[in-house]
Structure 1
Amino acid sequence: MKQITIIAITFLMTLGQVYGQKSKKVNSKKMNTTETVEHYTFQLGDKVTRQKVSFKNRYGITISADLYLPKNTETKTFSALAISGPFGAVKEQSSGLYANQMAERGFIALAFDPSYTGESSGEPRNLASPDINTEDFSAAVDFLGLQKNVDRTKIGIIGICGFGGMALNATAIDKRIKAVATTSLYDMTRVMSKGYNDVVTLEQRMKTLEQLGQQRWKDAENGTPAPSSNNLPEKLQGNEPQFVAEYHNYYKTPRGFHPRSINSNGSWTATNPLSFMNMPLLAYIKEISPRPMLLIAGENAHSRYFSEDIYKVASEPKELMIIPNAVHVDLYDKVDVVPFDKLETFFKQHLK
């Protein structure tokens, strides 16, 4: 059983298969009111408009995003939210759905592709970084604070899955963020360095680091990073861990598939875990206080313990909400399960 768990951990860390996609180049810093016709995994609300936008982060990477606005915003300023995740997803999936829902509830909401993924720039592709992805949230706050219809004193963020950890990290360092919420939270530095439920031994960790070091030499010799070989299966065989089946049922089916999503149709690089292995995301979690934190997790989610453990060590004000019977991916897109009314109440209370 332990060996199966370890294999599942490795699988989780490097979901996807090689696809060799190229990102679109995004240059405009200003809002573009024209909308490209393309695939979204949800329907745009009748009371919402969506605009393609882009901005640069502190590392010079161009972040591609969709800005969701309540209709009739011309003469009013709004509270705003920056949203990203899950880990390996794009803005046309869960984060866009969240942004749409929150815009329907009266917020300006920005769903963005993280650096090196989706339509955002950055080479090579399909990389993640606890530092750079934390910066992506702050860059989103930069952008929102420059919009004439946004009150820059009323900006919050939402992180989904692996970007929940990035959202908390960004909030700890960026005092402009006035409130933070996470759903189906993952601390990616913890899971990559210690494994799921912290089962990875020191010996196993050292072996992984040795392999990653050897892979760096191979990549340097070849002049390009190799993709991970641990991929989400195209078809389920029936013997996969339950959470792998759940991911498949979202990313590999019409429910959540998107061609630019790493977990739907791509692969992280083989050395992607390196920057996560010894850079803990949440060392300064207590410094979010006195700003409020809302952690939301499914009762039956394999990831539930991440939210519970963070709740134990975080300072007040904080709130942990467990959704009955829900699994991890239910909080990606099931609008009757994700507590959007709670998110609305939380942010309206604290962004005032």
Structure 2
Amino acid sequence: MERIKTAIVGASGYTGMELLRLLLVHPQVELVAATSRQEAGKPIHAVFPRFRHAPAAELAFIEPDPDAIAATGAKVAFLALPHGVAAEIARALLERGLKVIDLSADFRLRDAAVYAEFYGHEHPAPDLLSQAVYGLPEVRAEEIAKSDLIASPGCYPTSIILPLVPLLAEKLIDPATIVANSYSGVSGAGRKADISLLFVECNESVRAYGLPKHRHLSEIEQELTLAAGEQVTITFLPHLMPVTAGIHTTTTAKLAPGIDPEAVGRSLEAAYARSAFVRVLGRGGYPDTKNVTRTNFIDIGWQYDARTGRVILLSAEDNLGKGAGGQAVQSFNHMFGLEETAGLQNF
């Protein structure tokens, strides 16, 4: 099979580095472009020595110019760019015939007004929102396969949405009682100079941030509302924890009246029985970030608190893997009719 010519736009950040790690050795990918304004002209291995001797590691970073990217013959581009920046390049690449998998927030929301509310500026390409597919493969595999524009989900949302979707769809829990507590590794903040993210500031400490209205709430509530068939508003409490990568989320909600708690386990098992990357640990299963980092897996366990009538959902994933680069590659595989696990079979 002819390998698919692929570009990574914004390849020098943490998510870009994860995309490089996966795509440089993907059996059906030929990496033909990697962009970085800061590193333009340098070969990939000079910026990331870990990739020395990897296929295409001699490829030099280029400026993020749409014409230059299209000239490489790329059929698809992964965008690992900040929100507000990705949309302009996405439009230009779509106009040049490329498929686009955007890892920013620019196309995750269906409503431009909600985007403006949560991101503090008008949406840069509202006319493209109806074209984009929210790239959660376990929920929208068929739509992803037919789309030219994928909005890859955020890291926190993935860890919250996947455990909740089947329970909301089957009316097993009360949507008005959902509370999600999440803890993320520091790489989730991006590769940037920020005093609050220095080692001494983060090490041996845990802190909440982004309260009470973290930006990811917008896509979380959008997707949960679609699953429930009614408006869902939740409490979301994100925290920074002193590890490089990984997300652990504990989500609680009241069990709906008359529902057997064991229905929760049956629902999760049925929803993800054929999923390559969702591992359901069952009642009393406690996900651990060390078991999912550097992979595309999300582990989900659950418990029931009879004292409070609340279901406790536990999930763990790699914020750079299933929460970003790995999930984007999973969508890429669906877009091009490949095995869903291609290039992602690492444990």
- Asked if TM exceeds 0.5, the reply is no
TM-score for the superposition, normalised by structure 2: 0.31
